[in-house]
């Protein structure tokens, strides 16, 4: 069996042979953006929403979108990467990164325009169902990030350090607090429930507008649950009836403990469970798979 394949600048090659210039501005400056898709039965979930966010980010960085930012081209690359690793069935993820390209190091954009570097890989994915059944723990940390968190850049150092601190403390996620309010998690968006109403930070420059966040808001409203896009005060997390994280590889993850506070009853809450069930149905629908309700509800 050949090793996993990578797509790099128009070529498919073994991942171990996919190499970059040391002058790549992604390597030198973190000058690039990325996306992660959930894939079910070979089909990327919310393909266009992720591509739209990618194009938005490229626009903000003033990188001319390469062909892969087009849905047809992306689908072809995705199909080949998935096929090469036998990922046309079951669950997978696709990672795509685009940087400004390689050039001698200067902070300003290179005088001679560079060709953007395009890199993509597909990996097998297993959703964290045992943790979902128990409920996860999170810690809070000061949000020390810049003021353009709406761009999905590869510069993730605050997120990396926050998540590492969480893991060292036996938690699953670090939740950022800025100016006394919850913004989001290191790689997830946070939702709270108070008296039956869902609250989450508005999708402005202080958070990454998650694709899952949009899908979950849509699901909640279709189920008749009110969604209020106003921030949750950091000191109110312990008093929420429910709290949960949402994201591409997280789905809806109930939180049962944040710092020293037990959330709600200390078990996954009913609204989180209901939303997870509905999200799982949308995921399965795209993969053309039907799972038993028992698997979904766990």
Ligand X SMILES: Cc1ncc(COP(=O)(O)O)c(C=O)c1O
- The number of helix segments (H) and strand segments (E) in the chain equals 8, 15
* Contact region with ligand X (CB under 6 A), list: 86-94, 109-117, 165-173, 203-211: 203-211
- Region label for 167, one of left (φ > 0), alpha (ψ between -120 and 50) or beta (otherwise): alpha
Nearer to ligand X, 23 or 129 (CB): 129
| Token pair in block for residue 250 | 């997280």
Report the C-alpha gap between 45 and 37 in whole angstroms: 6
Annotated catalytic residue, options 55, 79, 152, 273: 152
Based on the shown chain and the rule CB under 6 A, indicate whether residue 248 belongs to the binding site for ligand X: yes
CB of 41 to ligand X, least distance (A): 19
> Which are the contacts of 59, defined by CB distance < 8 A and separation ≥ 6?
65
Cβ-closest residue to ligand X?
Answer: 210
Report the C-alpha gap between 193 and 89 in whole angstroms: 35
Nearest to 39 by CA among 287, 292, 288: 287
Based on the shown chain and the rule CB under 6 A, indicate whether residue 211 belongs to the binding site for ligand X: yes
Q: 3-class SS at 160?
A: helix
Cβ-based neighbour number of residue 111 at 10 Å: 9
Based on the shown chain and the rule CB under 6 A, indicate whether residue 212 belongs to the binding site for ligand X: yes
Based on the shown chain and the rule CB under 6 A, indicate whether residue 57 belongs to the binding site for ligand X: no
Report the C-alpha gap between 22 and 261 in whole angstroms: 46
* Contact region with ligand X (CB under 6 A), list: 69-77, 89-97, 162-170, 209-217: 209-217
Based on the shown chain and the rule CB under 6 A, indicate whether residue 93 belongs to the binding site for ligand X: no
Based on the shown chain and the rule CB under 6 A, indicate whether residue 116 belongs to the binding site for ligand X: no
Residue 152 annotated among the catalytic residues of the structure: yes
CB of 156 to ligand X, least distance (A): 7
HSE (CB half, 13 Å, CA atoms) of 286? 18
* Contact region with ligand X (CB under 6 A), list: 9-17, 73-81, 207-215, 257-265: 207-215
User: Residues 27-46 vs ligand X: string with x where CB under 6 A?
Assistant: ---------x----------
* Contact region with ligand X (CB under 6 A), list: 2-10, 134-142, 167-175, 187-195: 187-195
CB of 208 to ligand X, least distance (A): 4
Beta strands in 59-109 (DSSP E): 91-99
Based on the shown chain and the rule CB under 6 A, indicate whether residue 173 belongs to the binding site for ligand X: no
Report the C-alpha gap between 225 and 71 in whole angstroms: 33
Which residues make up the interface to ligand X (CB under 6 A)? 36, 159, 184, 187-189, 208, 210-213, 247-248
């Amino acid at each position: 069996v050949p090793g996993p394949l990578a797509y790099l600048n128009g070529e498919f090659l073994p991942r171990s042979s996919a190499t970059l210039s040391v002058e790549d501005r992604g390597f030198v400056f973190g000058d690039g953006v990325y996306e992660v898709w959930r894939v079910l039965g070979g089909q990327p979930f919310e393909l266009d929403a992720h591509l739209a966010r990618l194009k938005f980010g490229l626009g903000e960085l003033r990188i001319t979108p390469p062909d892969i930012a087009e849905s047809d081209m992306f689908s072809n690359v995705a199909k080949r990467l998935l096929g090469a690793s036998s990922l046309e069935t079951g669950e997978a993820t696709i990672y795509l990164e685009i940087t400004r390209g390689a050039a001698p190091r200067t902070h300003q954009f290179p005088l001679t325009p560079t060709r953007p570097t395009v890199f993509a890989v597909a990996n097998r994915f297993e959703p964290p169902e045992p943790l979902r059944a128990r409920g996860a723990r999170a810690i809070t940390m000061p949000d020390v990030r810049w003021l353009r968190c709406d761009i999905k850049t590869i510069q993730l150092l605050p997120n990396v350090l926050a998540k590492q601190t969480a893991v060292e403390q036996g938690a699953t996620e670090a939740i950022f607090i800025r100016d006394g309010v919850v913004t989001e998690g290191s790689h997830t968006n946070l939702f709270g429930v108070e008296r039956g109403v869902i609250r989450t930070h508005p999708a402005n420059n202080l958070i990454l507008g998650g694709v899952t966040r949009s899908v979950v808001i849509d699901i909640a409203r279709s189920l008749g649950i009110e969604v209020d896009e106003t921030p949750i005060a950091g000191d109110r997390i312990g008093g929420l009836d429910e709290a949960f994280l949402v994201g591409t590889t997280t789905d809806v993850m109930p939180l049962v403990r944040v710092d020293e506070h037990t959330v709600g009853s200390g078990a996954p809450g009913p609204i989180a469970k209901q939303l997870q069930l509905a999200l799982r149905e949308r995921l399965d629908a795209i993969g053309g798979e039907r799972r038993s309700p028992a698997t979904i509800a766990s």
